[in-house]
Amino acid sequence: MSISTSPSSVLTPKLHYDNDEDVALLTAVNDEHGGVIVEMKDPMNSTDFSISLRTSLTNWKKQGIKGVWIKLPIKLANLIEVVVQEGFLYHHAEPTYLMLVRWLPNTQHTIPANASHRVGIGAFVMNDNREILVVQEKNGILRGSGFWKFPTGVVEQAEDIHVGAIREVKEETGIDTEFVEVLAFRQTHKSFFEKSDFFFLCLLRPLSFDIHIQELEIEAAKWMPIEEYAEQPFVQNHELLKYILDVCLAKIDKGYSGFSPVQISSTFFGQEREDCLFLNSRDFNH
Amino acid sequence: MSISTSPSSVLTPKLHYDNDEDVALLTAVNDEHGGVIVEMKDPMNSTDFSISLRTSLTNWKKQGIKGVWIKLPIKLANLIEVVVQEGFLYHHAEPTYLMLVRWLPNTQHTIPANASHRVGIGAFVMNDNREILVVQEKNGILRGSGFWKFPTGVVEQAEDIHVGAIREVKEETGIDTEFVEVLAFRQTHKSFFEKSDFFFLCLLRPLSFDIHIQELEIEAAKWMPIEEYAEQPFVQNHELLKYILDVCLAKIDKGYSGFSPVQISSTFFGQEREDCLFLNSRDFNH
């Protein structure tokens, strides 16, 4: 179950007129799954919009259209109620737009699910003296606890895990790194309202050593002997943190193998695609 | 950067009256990050709501509240415009509600990001005769192509990867399985509007062998010799599918090690939490 929409195929909708009824129809572009996408851009009063939407829906039904997507920028919030009254549900929202969708046929819908997971990283960065890079945060639940932790952060939309890990370490501590491996990952549910999240434990190799902290989020950062990190009561008393530390120790002392990224180009129905596949490279000879 | 809200702390908001001004204030509950959450449930006309919201915002500012969250069920779509006029942005939406948020202080916000990734699985299931479980789908871009593929599916919100993989194989083919390992995973961007996705390649061991296909989504399913799968032109010509197949072959013939799930209970500030950590168990002795 997947859908892809190339941004270039989404044109600015205009109104065009249905000669028979003299009603302005909404202009839509076809998606690749028998549906249409309407991207509203210009202000419209809700009465005119309501008539246009209703007439358009009648036409789309005649044409056998399946899913109808309507994207409303936040400045057109006045039109949401009209769309909802026509039987649409919300699909997803970003800060400045809301996407609504309605399945027209009398069949079970195949509308793809909304994004369900947030993605975070934790960075294990060790120098040649077995000192690891640790921080104390200014905000969050650990603030003021005195606990030294791995740098962590949220991977941005459309950002690869390894790129996000390097960026977060650089932002929080000023340290340049290169990415080595995902050592393990954790899945958790209901971490934020109803959403789930992934946390990828990443091994990075330091390329610089002078720390410059980011004042907004970071209280302090330093290189700390790994044994000293391990002795912190918070690590000792927290089963997951102990596991994470033991995975890191297995890596540096016992040849533990994680997953490293391989960039792969494929051609899929004439379209070039770049994928990043994480796998156990040590066990794999392609 | 994380936030957690336990559903039990979100009470039904009622209006209460500010004696000085005789205006009904919105009832909110505090979150764990210095903010408040308003969960609207009952219909209200937009004029009254506008006055209540404005007065409430003035009070919250006085109290030093940071983030203000307003959750509107779809039946209250008429109130969205009022909230937007007070400077709120959308945060996320699910089919029947919209969440809006505004950061009140004059500081950089620490509002957590919306979910950015969808999560899918592909199931590698092989019997003792080196035959793998393959399907042809009724819908999607491969429909009618004659290509036999691994069962795939979307992991549901709040569902563990390994649980989702077992469920999808059962739904599509009727085969019972037990989960063994994540062999590799792929990250892709802009797969669906602006969202990214993860695809986890999962090894499952079959526990039953009689196929019963799901009529709605699956055209056909069968056990196919792995060599025959590999010889399909679509696999031969698609770099990513070749990689995925080679990882599976490395697993069955060369002792390749993936990540297997470990369930971990931790206590975090008095709250019991269940996490699922995926790691290279073969290389790890806890």
Per-residue pLDDT at B229 exceeds 70: yes
Which region among A139-148, B92-101, B141-150, B177-186 has the lowest average model confidence (pLDDT)? Answer: A139-148
Residue B2's pLDDT is 37
Q: In angstroms, rounded to a whole number, what is the distance separating the alpha carbons of residues A170 and A15?
A: 48
In Å, how far is B255's CA from the nearest CA of chain A?
7
In a domain, B53, yes or no: yes
Instruction: Indicate if B122 and B253 belong to the same structural domain.
Output: yes
In Å, how far is B208's CA from the nearest CA of chain A?
25
Q: In angstroms, rounded to a whole number, what is the distance separating the alpha carbons of residues A226 and A169?
A: 18
**Which residue from B139, B250, B285 is facing A283, i.e. has the nearest CB?**
B250
Q: Is A96 left (phi over 0), alpha (psi -120 to 50) or beta?
A: alpha
CATH number, position B179: 3.90.79.10
Give A140's contacts in chain B (Cβ within 8 Å).
Answer: 1-2
Q: Is B243 left (phi over 0), alpha (psi -120 to 50) or beta?
A: alpha
Instruction: Indicate if A125 and A99 belong to the same structural domain.
Output: no
Tell which B residues from 34 to 73 touch A, by Cβ distance under 8 Å: none
Q: In angstroms, rounded to a whole number, what is the distance separating the alpha carbons of residues A192 and B90?
A: 15
Question: What is the Cα B208 distance to its own chain's centre?
Answer: 29
Q: How much is the average pLDDT of B208-215?
A: 94
Q: Is B193 left (phi over 0), alpha (psi -120 to 50) or beta?
A: left
Which region among A275-284, B41-50, B146-155, B261-270 has the lowest average model confidence (pLDDT)? Answer: B261-270
Interchain CB contact of A186 with B (< 8 Å): yes
Which region among A8-17, A160-169, A203-212, B83-92 has the lowest average model confidence (pLDDT)? Answer: A8-17
Mean pLDDT of chain B: 89
Q: How much is the average pLDDT of A107-119?
A: 86
Interchain CB contact of A155 with B (< 8 Å): yes
Instruction: Indicate if B164 and B213 belong to the same structural domain.
Output: yes
**Which residue from B96, B112, B279 is facing A247, i.e. has the nearest CB?**
B279
Per-residue pLDDT at A272 exceeds 70: yes
| Of the residues A61, A79, A103, the one at which a domain ends | A103
From residue B253, how far is each of A12, B184, B250 by CA, in Å?
53, 16, 5
In Å, how far is B86's CA from the nearest CA of chain A?
12
CATH number, position A47: 3.40.630.30
In a domain, B108, yes or no: no
Neighbours of A258 (CB within 10 A): 26
Task: Confirm if B13 and B70 have CB atoms less than 8 A apart.
Answer: no
- Span A10-39, pLDDT tens digits: 344 455 555 555 678 999 999 878 899 999
Instruction: Indicate if B248 and B154 belong to the same structural domain.
Output: yes
Instruction: Indicate if B152 and B183 belong to the same structural domain.
Output: yes
Note down the domain range covering A142: 117-260
In the chain, the amino acid numbered A285 is N
Q: How much is the average pLDDT of A41-49?
A: 92
Which region among A133-137, A189-193, B37-41, B111-115 has the lowest average model confidence (pLDDT)? Answer: A189-193
Residue A156 appears among annotated catalytic residues = no
Q: In angstroms, rounded to a whole number, what is the distance separating the alpha carbons of residues A87 and A53?
A: 11
Per-residue pLDDT at A60 exceeds 50: yes
| Of the residues A72, A103, A134, the one at which a domain ends | A103
Interchain CB contact of B16 with A (< 8 Å): no
Instruction: Indicate if B54 and B155 belong to the same structural domain.
Output: no
Task: Confirm if A56 and A86 have CB atoms less than 8 A apart.
Answer: no
Q: How much is the average pLDDT of B36-52?
A: 94
Handedness of CA A188, A191, A194, A198 (dihedral sign): negative
Domain count, chain A: 2
- Higher-confidence residue: A110 or A155? A155
Instruction: Indicate if B97 and B189 belong to the same structural domain.
Output: no
Nearest-Cα residue of chain A relative to residue B92: A93
Q: In angstroms, rounded to a whole number, what is the distance separating the alpha carbons of residues A90 and A104?
A: 15
Tokens describing residue B266: 């931790």
In a domain, B176, yes or no: yes
Q: How much is the average pLDDT of B241-262?
A: 95
Interchain CB contact of B249 with A (< 8 Å): no
In the chain, the amino acid numbered A148 is W
Among B185, B187, B150, which residue's Cα sits nearest to residue A273?
A: B187
- pTM for the predicted model, two decimal places: 0.85
In a domain, A1, yes or no: no
- Span B128-156, pLDDT tens digits: 999 999 999 887 777 788 899 999 999 98
Instruction: Indicate if B72 and B146 belong to the same structural domain.
Output: no
- In the structure, what pLDDT confidence band is assigned to residue B111 with cuts at 50, 70 and 90? confident
Instruction: Indicate if A51 and A157 belong to the same structural domain.
Output: no
Q: Do A190 and B158 touch (CB under 8 A)?
A: yes
| Of the residues B103, B137, B170, the one at which a domain ends | B103
In a domain, A6, yes or no: no
Per-residue pLDDT at B13 exceeds 80: no
Per-residue pLDDT at A266 exceeds 90: no
Residue B273's pLDDT is 84
- Span A185-236, pLDDT tens digits: 999 887 667 788 899 999 999 999 999 998 888 999 999 999 999 999 989 9
- Higher-confidence residue: A47 or B156? A47
In a domain, A284, yes or no: no
In a domain, B268, yes or no: no
Torsion on CA atoms A220, A223, A227, A233, rounded to nearest 10: 0
Instruction: Indicate if B135 and B157 belong to the same structural domain.
Output: yes
The ipTM, to two decimals, is: 0.84
Considering chain A, what percentage of its residues have pLDDT values greater than 90? 71
Q: How much is the average pLDDT of B109-133?
A: 93
Residue B17's pLDDT is 56
- In the structure, what pLDDT confidence band is assigned to residue A3 with cuts at 50, 70 and 90? very low
Instruction: Indicate if A55 and A184 belong to the same structural domain.
Output: no
Residue A286's pLDDT is 60
In a domain, A174, yes or no: yes
In Å, how far is A158's CA from the nearest CA of chain B?
5
Instruction: Indicate if A256 and A127 belong to the same structural domain.
Output: yes
Residue B22's pLDDT is 67
Q: Do B117 and A119 touch (CB under 8 A)?
A: yes
Task: Say which of A39, A137, A159, A171 is annotated catalytic.
Answer: A171
Task: Confirm if A169 and A151 have CB atoms less than 8 A apart.
Answer: yes
**Which residue from A194, A216, A276 is facing B187, i.e. has the nearest CB?**
A276
- Higher-confidence residue: A116 or B130? B130
Among B3, B147, B185, B236, most A C-beta atoms within 10 A, so best to mutate, is: B185
